[in-house]
Structure formats: C-alpha cells, structure tokens
Amino acid sequence: MSIRALLNIEHPIIQAPMAGACTPALVAAVSNGGGLGSLGAAPMKPDVLRAQIQKIRALTGRPFNINLFAPGSERFDADAMPGKAARALLEKYHQELGLGELRMPSGIFGPAEQQLEVLLEEKVPVISFHFGVAAHHVNAIHAAGLKVICSATTIEEAVHLESLGCDAVIAQGSEAGGHRGTFMGDFQRALIGTMALVPQIVDAVSVPVIAAGGIMDARGIVACKALGASGVQMGTAFLGCHESGIPGVWREQLKASSPSRTTVTTVMSGKPARGLANRYIQDMEALEEAPMPYPLQYALSGAIRKKAAQQGNPDFLAMWSGQGVGMLQELPAAELLKALVTQTRLLLAELDN
Amino acid sequence: MSIRALLNIEHPIIQAPMAGACTPALVAAVSNGGGLGSLGAAPMKPDVLRAQIQKIRALTGRPFNINLFAPGSERFDADAMPGKAARALLEKYHQELGLGELRMPSGIFGPAEQQLEVLLEEKVPVISFHFGVAAHHVNAIHAAGLKVICSATTIEEAVHLESLGCDAVIAQGSEAGGHRGTFMGDFQRALIGTMALVPQIVDAVSVPVIAAGGIMDARGIVACKALGASGVQMGTAFLGCHESGIPGVWREQLKASSPSRTTVTTVMSGKPARGLANRYIQDMEALEEAPMPYPLQYALSGAIRKKAAQQGNPDFLAMWSGQGVGMLQELPAAELLKALVTQTRLLLAELDN
C-alpha cells in the first residue's frame, strides 16, 4: 500500500514532528496543502496537548499526526542519578543569566501513557512514536481505528516495528535533526546515512517506508523515491517556514550554518539528538561525568533555554537541525509544499531524458 | 562538463580505490566495462606501484584512476609519539598469534611524493587524492595533461578543492567505507550523510560532483543523479566482486553484516575509517590513551592482519566496509557494471510513470 492511501493524504510528504517548533498553524498549513502536518507533543501535559489538537482541528479538516516519545522513556530513577557536574554547570549558567535557584521540576514531561489516552479519545488520525513503541499500544491504536507509525534507525529496529504491527516505518537517517529514534543498541552504531538506510529497510520490511534525514527539496524527494521510499518526512526544511515557532536567533543561526556546524550530542536532553553546536554543548561535553538522564537534563536546562531565547542568545539554546541546513528556505509552508510537489514532477521528467 | 566527458568514460560509475582490495583485474574489468576502475596505491612502494600500473595497462586500454593519500600525510614525528598502550596491546597480540617481536618498520608507506612522480611518468589518466591535495601537485598533474580529483567530506573542503583547480570533487558521505577523506577540521563534524552532502556541494561548486557513500545498486545511482551528482563512486559494492582481492574471511563477514556492524574508528590506521567492528577495534578503543599516529598504527599492526587473514580470523583484520553492506552482491565486476547500467535505465523510466 502507498503511504498516500494509508494515511489518506494527497502528497507523500510528512512535516516532521518537532517539539517546540511546530505550531498548530504549521501543522494545519501542511495538512491543508495535501501533506501530513505533525505536532511533536512529547513535552506537553495532557491538557495542553488536548488544547493543541483542538486548535489544529479548528484550522484543518484533513488528517494530521501527533508524535509521542515511547511511553516509559520519561521515567528515571532520581536516587541513582549521575550528572552532579552537569547540575553544577547549570547552576553556574543560572547565575550568569540572572535566573533563580535551579529547581527540580515536579512531574516533568508527559506522562506518555496519559498523552496517548488523549490521542485515542480525540481520535487523532495518525499517531507516531520515537524511541520505539509497545505492542499493546499498537493494538490500542488499531482498535480505535487509527494509524500508528514509528521511527527506525537500523534495519533491526525496522523489522521489529513491522513485527509489532506498525502501519509504516520511518527510516531516520543519520542526517536528521533532533532526537535520534534509536531504541535498540548503541546510538553511535545507529547513525546510518539515509542513502544506505532506506533501501536496506525497504528490502527488509513489507510495510511502506518513509525516508527521513537530509531531505530539503525536490532533489531529496526524488532521491528517496528512487531508493524505494513510499514517502518522505522533512523536519529542518519546515523549520524555516513562516509558521514555524522557533525563536528568531535559532532561525538566524540556521541561515548562517553549514552541515559541519551540526553535532549529535546527549548533553541537551540526556538522549542523543542532532543540533547546532554552541557554548552549552561544548561546555557540557567537556565535563568528565555523563549528563543527567533524559528527561531530567532537558527539564532542568529549560529555564536557561527560555531566557536565552528572550535575549536572542544562541549560547544556551537547543537549536535542533539536520545536516541539510545549508538548503534552508524561508517561505510560507503552503508555498514550500506546492514548490516541492511541482519541482518533484519536473525533476522526474528531466531525469528520464 | 559531465564526468563522462571529463574522464573519457562511457558510464559515470567509478569503482572506488581501496588499498588492499583492488587488484589489476578488478580495475581493468571496470574500465573495460565502460566505468572507471581505480587502484588504491597509498601503501605501495614506488616500484610496486609502477608494476601494478603496467599490469593494469596489459589488461585494458581504457582510462583508469590511481589514488594516493595526500603527500605529507605519511610523515610523523617518531620522537613525540603517543600510543604506548596501543604498542603494548599489539605486543600482546603478537604473542597470542605466535608472531615475533613487534618491529618498527623502516620507510613505511609511499612516500607519496615519489608515488606521484611515478604516476606522472606513467601518464596515469586520472589521479585522485584522499586527505586533500596541494596546489603545486594539481598544477603538475595538469601540466602533464592528466586529470586530478579529490575527496571532500564537507562543503568547505569541496569549495577549497575547486579553488585549487581540481577537475571534479568526490562528495564522500558518512556512509562510505574505508578512510574518511577529511582534511579540514574535526572528522566527527565531517560525518555528513550523502543525502545532505551531495546537493549542498553541488550548490557550492561549479565542477562536476561525484557522489560516494552508501551507493550499492541502481537505486543509489538514480538517487545521486537526482541530488545533482554527475557520477557515483562505489566501493563496498565492488568488494563483493569475484576480482576483489580481499581475504575470504572478510568477504564472509561482509555477507553476514548489517550496517549497524560498521563503525568509524581511528585505531586501525591512526586516521578515522569505517569498517566492521571486531575484537581489535573493541580492545584498542577501550585503551585510555590515543592510538599511534597514521601511518605508524597501520604499519605496526600489519603483521597481525596478515596472520589473521591466513588463519581466517576476523578478530584482527581491517575489514573496511560502508553502511550499504547489507546490499552486497557477489558476481564478476563486468556483470555488476552491466546490471547497474541496465537497472539504472529501467528505474529512471519507471520513476517517471
């Protein structure tokens, strides 16, 4: 089955869920244009999530996607925690930025089980997961008549996801910005480039494969089609859109960056993710001790990110970015989508001549 | 100019130079089939290199390519050397394998300046470099009426190579097996996936771009064409060919591997390179001290590699491999090339329907 038929969309283009960057306006613009808009909901409290879904529904009647991090991934053992050096550094930053005491947030992130309940109640057409998914959640989503897709960063993960009953698999190449979806084995070994990952996953599973990582324009879309992908998921490309909700300083840094500015680091959230290198990453990585576990590292560094965004200071932001960053365009999402569709058609015709 | 016109070849397919794996038979089979066969000559003494060129010429009248590591990259300061722990571990391996004392080889590798002189005297049609190239070498090659191409792993490197006068640039994506061509900045930041690297280099330079990294079949060739590449360079795909000179155990390990088995490591040669993980890499990476500099680490571990190949023991081999490894085919090089050309045509026609 094609990804278009599966997800009931006109164009096989998924705007990647990016927590903190996707607004309901961006999601709706992509869905209204015939693609699949997505909301990254991992850090949202259940009531905030429900309100966001209602905002999206007010703007579009088309299918859209909500992304969660795998239920359970937000749990951590507060007593057995490393990261003392990371906490000391965060305290130093708090002083530098004139922020108050560093506080342990209560009930941080999700919980994902409750987020999923909201999605089922709201009958969100497409639910996607990062960091894997449990079989009983796949079953619950199907029982509600909804579709479930999940990211794979290796062939082994893709085969596992198909065995759980996922409707499609997102092949997340190493070029991709944001969190690595790796849930089996070492994340370093799972940094597999899109060019190699997509055809090997296509060969290994029967469900449709959605290519992600480094795709910024029609060239990438046609390339992934050639590799056997049924559709593409594009993140960084949509960060530049007018509707993207990123701070101005993040946008400016993206516009000035080449791919060698991006790095995969665990110090931003506690889990590996690709973003633009800055002072925070350099300082944190220089510590001999590991950062705090996800999501504690992320939650405790939230105040400095907020302050840095207000100040237009790139030093402390989590500026997620894929390696396609040098191809960023700034335009309304509807126009980007239209251009992608038109140029894909032209390029396909041109290549065959 | 197209890469076919530039290099005087029929099909824009370059078999990647792989020291230790390319035989004159492989090089000639690819060139005779209308592609560009390549010999990885970095470790060869000048007289051995000259003999190899004569063997290739006896088998083909078509253009071929000889690859060198940048002159100068084989120099190291023997007095200021780290790597005591690495040497101790090599000594332990020597004992385990029943080899004699670990000896410092004399006059190891190249020197590349002398290798280049041989190539100029022999009028080798295409000369390629890894780890950059000097302007006066580019000029000397052009003065001899020959072509020079070089690998780039970042946009910045590609722009630099064009400014030196290179006739084409090889965009080496992070998927590629063997040595990383990085010569400016940190190699970790220069691990850019082919999907992102190729179009950004195409946008940045005017010379033809040859895509490399993760390309194993017609799907990869068409994908790279869509990204704007003028041709492709394929390494791992040719490792499986009957004419490839790799030990049987390396071949068997490739056939049994998925991409998450590959890793980029500096412990094999002293410079970062991608290959299949094994006991040697695991042990060496566990040392707290850095390995010896290139090419000393490579030269001093030569005896254990030779013994391991004889024993059919994968533990101590340098089994270079790209992330496309799961798509490996075993057939004669001429058949592989013919299939690539035919399937590329079919896929291009199919995509436009």
The count of structural domains within chain A is 2
Residue B338: per-residue pLDDT? 98
Nearest Cα residue in chain A from B328: A200
On the CB side of B272, CA atoms within 13 Å amount to 18
Nearest Cα residue in chain A from B227: A219
Give the ranges where chain B is alpha helix by DSSP (H): 3-7, 24-32, 46-59, 84-96, 112-121, 135-143, 155-164, 194-204, 218-226, 236-239, 248-255, 279-286, 296-300, 302-311, 333-351
Nearest CB partner across the interface for A155, out of B175, B189, B326? B326
Residues of chain B in contact with residue A261, where contact means CB-CB under 8 angstroms, are 189
Question: What distance in Å separates residue A11's CA from the closest CA in chain B?
Answer: 15
Q: Which residues contact B70 (CB under 8 A, 6 or more apart)?
A: B112, B129, B130, B131, B132, B133, B134, B183
Which strands form B178-179's sheet, in the order they lie side by side?
Answer: B178-179, B273-276, B262-265
Percent over 90 (pLDDT), chain A: 89
C-alpha to C-alpha distance for A168 and A208, rounded to whole angstroms = 5
Contact A155 B258 (CB under 8 A): yes
A195 in reach of chain B (CB within 8 A)? yes
A255 in reach of chain B (CB within 8 A)? no
Residue B171 shares a structural domain with residue B224: yes
pLDDT along chain A (353 residues), means of 10: 96 95 97 98 95 98 97 76 87 95 78 96 98 97 98 98 98 98 97 98 98 98 98 98 96 98 97 98 95 90 95 97 98 98 97 84
Reference B213, options B179, B185, B245, B240; nearest CA is B179
Residue B34: per-residue pLDDT? 98
Q: Which among A189, A192, A260, A321 is the top mutation candidate for probing chain B, defined by the most B β-carbons within 10 Å of its own β-carbon?
A: A260
Residue A95 shares a structural domain with residue A8: no
C-alpha to C-alpha distance for A31 and A221, rounded to whole angstroms = 18
Is A327 a member of any domain?
no
Question: Are B219 and A228 spatial neighbours (Cβ–Cβ below 8 Å)?
Answer: yes
Residue B78: per-residue pLDDT? 67
Burial class (CB in 10 A: 0-12, 13-18, 19+), A151: buried
Nearest Cα residue in chain B from A237: B196
Question: Are B12 and B237 spatial neighbours (Cβ–Cβ below 8 Å)?
Answer: no
Residue A95 shares a structural domain with residue A197: no
Question: Are B211 and A215 spatial neighbours (Cβ–Cβ below 8 Å)?
Answer: no
Nearest CB partner across the interface for A195, out of B154, B155, B173? B173
Residue B103 shares a structural domain with residue B113: no
Residue B80: per-residue pLDDT? 61
Among all chains, which residue has been given the structure tokens 């690297």?
Answer: B197
A329 in reach of chain B (CB within 8 A)? no
Is A249 a member of any domain?
no
Residue B263 shares a structural domain with residue B183: no
pTM for this model (two decimals): 0.97
pLDDT in tens, A133-184: 999 999 999 999 999 999 999 999 999 999 999 999 999 999 999 999 999 9
Is A121 a member of any domain?
yes
Residue A353: per-residue pLDDT? 75
CA distances from B133 to A284, B68, B190 (A): 36, 10, 17
Size of interface A-B (CB pairs under 8 A): 172
Residue numbers in chain B where pLDDT is lower than 70: 78-81, 107
Residue A173 shares a structural domain with residue A45: yes
Number of Cβ within a 10 Å radius of residue B248: 9
Reference B140, options B169, B170, B112, B119; nearest CA is B119
C-alpha to C-alpha distance for B264 and B190, rounded to whole angstroms = 12
Residue A294 shares a structural domain with residue A208: no
Is A342 a member of any domain?
yes
CATH code of the domain in which A234 resides: 3.20.20.70
- The boundaries of the domain holding residue B1 are 1-74+109-243+332-353
Residue A79: per-residue pLDDT? 67
Return the SS3 of B12. coil
Is A139 a member of any domain?
yes
Return the SS3 of B314. helix
**Which residues of chain B from 42 to 101 reach within 8 Å of chain A, CB to CB?**
none
Residue A54 shares a structural domain with residue A96: no
Contact B322 A196 (CB under 8 A): yes
Question: What distance in Å separates residue B83's CA from the closest CA in chain A?
Answer: 22
Residue B348 shares a structural domain with residue B270: no
Residue B353: per-residue pLDDT? 74
Residue B46 shares a structural domain with residue B92: no
C-alpha to C-alpha distance for A99 and B196, rounded to whole angstroms = 39
Contact B323 A196 (CB under 8 A): yes
**How much is the ipTM here?**
0.97
Residue A53 shares a structural domain with residue A122: yes
Residue B141 shares a structural domain with residue B179: yes
